[in-house]
């Protein structure tokens, strides 16, 4: 086991935190679900442009899209932790992963409902 790195403070902490976020984004890019969500959200942006959505409607989609990606990141984190804590099959592991997946699905449905409202109403 390696030693924990020294804690950074001040401006160094800000840049370190930004680096951790970039590392998280790189890790997420290895997840097919994340890549599919990014493509779907970019596709919705194109659809919004075609139907002439307002700036406020684009902003709503951007906010929902960021929340979808954040929930996907949390779901992936849950899966990584569970896989490490419970390498074999267990009801605990299944339930934790299923609930993370449900959270992502809820956000995808919310985004889809919003998109349908903008496009069809």
- A 10 A CB-CB count for 32 gives 8
Whether the full predicted model's pTM is greater than 0.75, yes or no, is yes
Q: For the chain, which residues score pLDDT lower than 50?
A: none
Domain boundaries, the chain: 31-120
| Per-residue pLDDT reduced to its tens digit, 4-31 | 888 888 898 888 999 999 999 999 999 9
Q: How far apart are CA 6 and CA 72, in angstroms?
A: 29
Q: Which of 74, 62, 84 is nearest to 27 (CA)?
A: 74
Question: Are 72 and 33 in contact, with CB atoms under 8 Å apart?
Answer: yes
Q: Which of these is catalytic: 57, 72, 80, 91?
A: 72
pLDDT at 66: 98
Residue 91 annotated to the active site = no
Pick the CATH number of 31-120 from 3.40.50.2300, 1.25.40.10, 1.10.287.3610, 3.30.1490.20: 1.10.287.3610
CA distances in angstroms from 81 to 9, 85, 89, 100, listed in the order given:
27, 6, 14, 12
The pLDDT value given to residue 2: 80
């Amino acid at each position: 086991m390696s030693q924990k790195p020294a804690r950074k403070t001040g401006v160094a902490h800000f840049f370190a935190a930004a680096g951790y976020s970039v590392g998280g984004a790189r890790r997420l890019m290895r997840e097919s679900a994340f890549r599919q969500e990014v493509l779907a959200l970019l596709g919705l942006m194109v659809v919004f442009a075609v139907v002439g959505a307002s700036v406020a409607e684009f902003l709503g989609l951007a906010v929902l899209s960021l929340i979808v990606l954040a929930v996907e990141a949390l779901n992936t984190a849950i899966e990584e932790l569970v896989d490490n804590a419970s390498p074999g099959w267990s009801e605990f592991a299944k339930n934790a992963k299923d609930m993370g997946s449900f959270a992502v699905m809820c956000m995808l449905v919310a985004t889809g409902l919003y998109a349908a409202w903008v496009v069809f109403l």
